[in-house]
Structure 1
Amino acid sequence: DMKVNTAQFMALYAWYSWPNVVLCFFGGFLIDRVFGIRLGTVIFSIFVCVGQVVFALGALFNTFWLMEVGRFIFGIGGESLAVAQNTYAVSWFKGKELNLVFGLQLSMARIGSTVNMNIMGWIYSRVQELLGYAGPSTLGLALLIGGVTCLFSLSCALILAYLDRRAEKLLCKEQGKTGEVIKLTDVKDFSLSLWLIFVICVCYYAAVFPFIGLGKVFFIEKFRFSPQEASAINSIVYIISAPMSPVFGLLVDKVGKNIIWVLCAVVTTLASHIMLAFTFWNPWVAMCLLGVAYSLLACALWPMVAFVVPEHQLGTAYGFMQSIQNLGLAVIAIAAGMILDTRGYLFLEVFFSACVFPQGKPFLPLFFCRAEEQERLRRQNEDDLAKLLPKADAFSLRNKYLSKLGAQVSPPGAHRQLKTRVM
C-alpha cells in the first residue's frame, strides 16, 4: 500500500531499536531517580500510545517518514516500559511467586505477538471491505484499530499506579526500584567470556527477529502459502516460546551446563535456516525447531552473564548486552532488507545462516575460560564484599533480567551453587 521496498520496510524495525541502543542504560535510572515507578510506567505507556498513533497517521496520510518517527517514539517507550513492568513484579511478589509472575509475563508477551501476527491481516481485510478499496487509508485505519491495545496498556498503567499508591499507604511500603546500577567505566573490566556472550547474543538474535519480520512473504513466495497460512507458520516461534520458555528455564536451572544448551540452540537454529534455504521440506518442521531453539537459548544464554561478572556489575553488563543487541538488530534489519531487494530470499537465508555459523567459534574459548573466570569472580566478590550493593537489590536485579526471558530464578542462597553447575 505504501509502495516501499523491503529495505525501507525493515528500517521500521531499525527505528524501534535505535533509541534503545542508549536507553538500555538509563531506563532503570529514570524509574529509580527521576519519575518513580508509578509515573514512569504511565509516561512510558504514553510514549507507546503516541508512537503507535503517529505510526498509523503516517500510513493514513501516505507519509513514510512520519511512520519512521512513530516507530522511533514507540521504541523510546517500549523497552523502558518493560523495565517498569518488571520492577512492579519484583516489588509486589517475592520468592517462588516471582517465578510464576515472570513466567506469565513472558507468556503473555509471546501470546500478544502471536495474536498481532494473525489478527492484523484480518482487521485489514475487514477495513478494506468497509471502505471498498485498498491503500494507505485502509492500512492507517487498521493500524489505528490495532492501537487500541496500546490504550488498554495505558489504562492498566493508571490502574496499577492507583493500586500501588494505595498499597503504599496501607502497608507502609516504599515504591519499587529496579536495583540497576549502571557504571560505564565497568566496561573496561569486562572479561573475555562476557564479550563472547555478547557476540553470541547479537549474531543469534540477528538471525531470528529480522527473519520473522520478513518471513510471511518468504512463505508465500517459496512455499505458495496463503497469507493466513504464512502468518500462522511465521508466528509458530512465539507460540512455542510461550509455554516452553518456563519449562526450559526450569530444565536449565536444574541441570546447569548453560554452554551446552546454548550450543544446542545455535546448532538447531543453523539447521532450521539451512532447511528453509536449500530444501522444500515442510517448513513447519524447520519453524518448530527454530521456536524450540529460540526458547532454549533465551533461558540458557542470559543467565550466563550473572555467572561471569560480579554482582555489582550486573546492571552495566545487562545494559550493555541489550544495547549491543539493539544495535545489531537495527543494522542487520536494514542489511536484510537490502539483500532481499537485490538478491532474493535464497541469498537472504544464506546471510542468516552466516550470522549463526560463526557462533560456533566462541564456544571453545568460552568453555576454557569458565573455570578461571569463576575462581577470579569468587576472589573478587570476597575482596570487594563491602563495596557491593545490598543483597536484596542485586538479587532483584538478577531476577528481573533472567525471569524476563523465561529463566527460572533461584533463592539468593543458591547463587554460588548455581555458578559451580554451569559446567
Structure 2
Amino acid sequence: MADDGNHHPQGIPHSINSNFDDDFEKSDENSPLLSSGVPRGASCNDVEYRGPLTGCGAWKLCDPRSAWHRYTFILILTCLLSFGSYYCYDTPSALEEVIKDDMQIDTSTYELLYSLYSWPNVVLCFFGGFLLDRVFGIRIGTLVFGGFVLTGQLIFALGALFDSWICMVAGRFVFGLGGENLAVAQNTYAVTWFKEKELNMVFGLQLSFSRIGSTLNMNVNKPIYDSINNDLLPYQRLGYTLLVGVAMCVFSVICGIVIGILDFRAEKLLNRNKASTGEVIRIRDIKDFPANLWLIFLICVFYYITVFPFITIGVVFFSEKYELTPAAANIVNSLVYFISAGASPIFGFIVDKTGRNIFWVIIGTVITLGCHLTLAFTFITPFAVMSVMGLAYSILACSLWPLVAFIMPEHQLGTSYGFMQSIQNLGLAVVSIIVGVIVDGSGYLILEVFMCAMLCVAIMFSVLLYLIDASRGTGLNFSAKERRLIKEAKKREKEMQTSCD
C-alpha cells in the first residue's frame, strides 16, 4: 500500500477540503485532513443534544461526547479498521520465495500480485470519497470496502489452496478495490469523532497501528508456513497460511460493524449530520495545475517506486546477498515499516516547527539514494541500512505531502491529492512489473542501479522545484517563522479591510 507518511500506505489524506455551515467561521489554520458532517472545530462532543442522555448514556464510557467514550472505544476501533488490510498487503513479500517455489512462477509473474493491487487504485483514488459521501455513506461504505478486502484475501488464499494462480491474482485485484478506500473511511471516522487538536495524535496512532500490521505480517507468515503439517502439499500449506490473513480481515470488518453501530447511536442521540469525506473532485481542475505541483507529483512517483517495489522483493534479496535466514531477512525487510511507525510523528513535528519543506524533501531523497548505493556496492549490515532508509522515508513523507496544500486553493485540494495518489499508484503498478523483469533477466545489482537512477531523477526534480519556488516566491521552502509572519500580516490586512468596510 502506498503511504502518505502521517496517516495512510500509501497514506496521505485524499483531501483536506472541508464543507462548513454558514454559522461557523472559515479558517485555514488547523483544518482537519478530511472534513466531516460536523463543522470545523466541532466533533461529536461539541454537538447539541436532542435531549438528556439516560441509562447507559449517562455514564462517561457510553456518552458520545465524553473523551472516555472516544478514547476507550472509538480510537481503538478506528485504528483497527484497516489493520487487516495492512497485514495482508505485504503478505506476498513475506512469502515471496515460498510463493515462487510452490506456484512455480518467476519474479516478474510474482510481481503481478502488487501491480494488480495498484491498477484499480489509479482510478479509484479519485472516486473513493464520492462513493462514501453520495453512494454508500460512511458506515455502509466502510463495510463495503472492508468486504472487498476480505473477499480479495479469501480468493487469494483459496487460489493457493487449490493451486490456481489465476485465482490468486484475481484475489489481489479484488483486494485492491477496497484497500485504499477503506483508509479514506478510517480517516473520515477520525475527523468525525475527534477535535482538531486531537487529530495529529489520532492520525499518528493510525499510522502506528498500520505499521504494526505490516511488521507483524513480515515476521509471522514464514514461521506459520513452516509450522503447518509437512504432509500437506506445498501449495496447500501456502493456502492455509494465507487464511490467517483472512482472519485478520474478518477482525477488521467486525471492528467496522461495531464502530458503525456506535456512530449510528451517536447520530441519533446528538444533533449531528452524517459524516462525509468532504472531497471535491473536479477533473477539469487538472488543467489549472501549476508547474511546481506537477514537480511534486513527479518527486512522489520517482521516490515511492524505489521503496515499496523494493520491499516486495527484499526478502529474497537479503537472503541471497547477505546469506540471512528467512526470519532475519523478513526482519530486515520490515524495518522501513517499523522505523517509520515511530519516526513519522517525530519528523512531522520537526517539519512543522522548522518549515523548509523542500530542504527536507531533498535530504530524505539523498539519504535514500545513499542507502540504495550501500545495498548495491557494499556488504554493510542491512539492518543499519534499512533502519536509515526508514528514517529517510519518514522525512520525505512528512515534508512532501503537505506541499500540495501550500500551493492549491482549498476547493482544488481533493482533485490535487486524488491525482497525486492516482499517479503514484500508476507508477507503482508499472514499476512492479519492471522490477520483476529486471530481477529475472539481470539480477539484483542492476535492480539497485535502476533504483539509484530513479532517485537521481527525484533529486533533480526536487532541486528544480527549489529553483522555481525561489524564483517565483511561492514560499514552499519558507521557514515556519516566515509562514507565521505572513499569516499574521494577512490576518491584519483582512481586519483592516473589514473595519474600513
TM-score bucket (shorter structure): 0.7 to 0.9
Aligned twin of 2:449: 350
| Residue 301 (structure 1) shift | 0.4
Aligned twin of 1:201: 300
- Name the CA shift for 1:134/1:355 in 2 (closer, same or farther; >3 Å): farther
- Amino acid aligned to 1:266: T
Residue 333, structure 1, aligned to residue 333, structure 2: no
> Mapping of 1:15-414 within 5 angstroms?
15-127=116-228, 130-370=229-469
| CA-to-aligned-CA distance 1:40-81 (integer Å, 9 cap, x gap) | 001111111000000011111111111111001000000010
- Determine the C-alpha separation between the residues in 1 that align with 2:298 and 2:273: 38
| Residue 366 (structure 1) shift | 1.2
- Determine the C-alpha separation between the residues in 2 that align with 1:376 and 1:252: 15
- Name the CA shift for 1:415/1:354 in 2 (closer, same or farther; >3 Å): farther
SS in 2 for 1:177: coil
- Determine the C-alpha separation between the residues in 1 that align with 2:285 and 2:343: 34
- Determine the C-alpha separation between the residues in 2 that align with 1:416 and 1:16: 43
| Residue 188 (structure 1) shift | 0.5
CA contact (8 A) 2:361 2:462 kept: no
SS in 2 for 1:280: coil
| Residue 174 (structure 1) shift | 1.4
- Name the CA shift for 1:233/1:376 in 2 (closer, same or farther; >3 Å): closer
| Residue 376 (structure 1) shift | 11
- Segments ≥4 residues shifted beyond 4 Å: 371-377, 413-416
| Residue 418 (structure 1) shift | 11
- Name the CA shift for 1:343/1:251 in 2 (closer, same or farther; >3 Å): same
- Determine the C-alpha separation between the residues in 2 that align with 1:362 and 1:59: 42
- Amino acid aligned to 2:132: I
| Residue 364 (structure 1) shift | 3.1
| CA-to-aligned-CA distance 1:129-151 (integer Å, 9 cap, x gap) | x2424511110111012210000
| Residue 23 (structure 1) shift | 0.2
Which deviates the most, 58-67 or 334-343?
Answer: 58-67
TM-score relative to the length of structure 1: 0.88
SS in 2 for 1:132: coil
| CA-to-aligned-CA distance 1:275-328 (integer Å, 9 cap, x gap) | 000111111221111110011111000001111111111000000000000000
Which deviates the most, 357-366 or 230-239?
Answer: 357-366
- Name the CA shift for 1:376/1:112 in 2 (closer, same or farther; >3 Å): closer
Aligned twin of 1:11: 112
SS in 2 for 1:24: helix
- Amino acid aligned to 1:118: N
- Name the CA shift for 1:416/1:45 in 2 (closer, same or farther; >3 Å): farther
- Determine the C-alpha separation between the residues in 1 that align with 2:488 and 2:453: 33
Larger radius of gyration: 2
| CA-to-aligned-CA distance 1:120-170 (integer Å, 9 cap, x gap) | 11111111xx24245111101110122100000100000011000000011
CA contact (8 A) 1:308 1:374 kept: no
| CA-to-aligned-CA distance 1:350-388 (integer Å, 9 cap, x gap) | 1111111111212233113325666699xxxxxxxxxxx
| CA-to-aligned-CA distance 1:59-109 (integer Å, 9 cap, x gap) | 111111111110010000000100000000010011111111101001100
Share of identical aligned residues, percent? 55
CA contact (8 A) 2:292 2:465 kept: yes
Greater helix share, structure number:
1
Which consecutive unaligned segments of at least 5 residues does structure 2 have?
1-101, 491-501
- Determine the C-alpha separation between the residues in 1 that align with 2:469 and 2:447: 35
- Name the CA shift for 1:57/1:312 in 2 (closer, same or farther; >3 Å): same
Report the RMSD for the aligned CA atoms in angstroms.
Answer: 2.0
- Determine the C-alpha separation between the residues in 2 that align with 1:36 and 1:373: 42
- Determine the C-alpha separation between the residues in 2 that align with 1:245 and 1:226: 29
- Name the CA shift for 1:140/1:414 in 2 (closer, same or farther; >3 Å): farther
Aligned twin of 2:52: none
- Amino acid aligned to 2:192: S
CA contact (8 A) 2:469 2:475 kept: no
- Determine the C-alpha separation between the residues in 2 that align with 1:216 and 1:419: 53
Aligned length: 384
- Name the CA shift for 1:353/1:96 in 2 (closer, same or farther; >3 Å): same
- Name the CA shift for 1:87/1:416 in 2 (closer, same or farther; >3 Å): farther
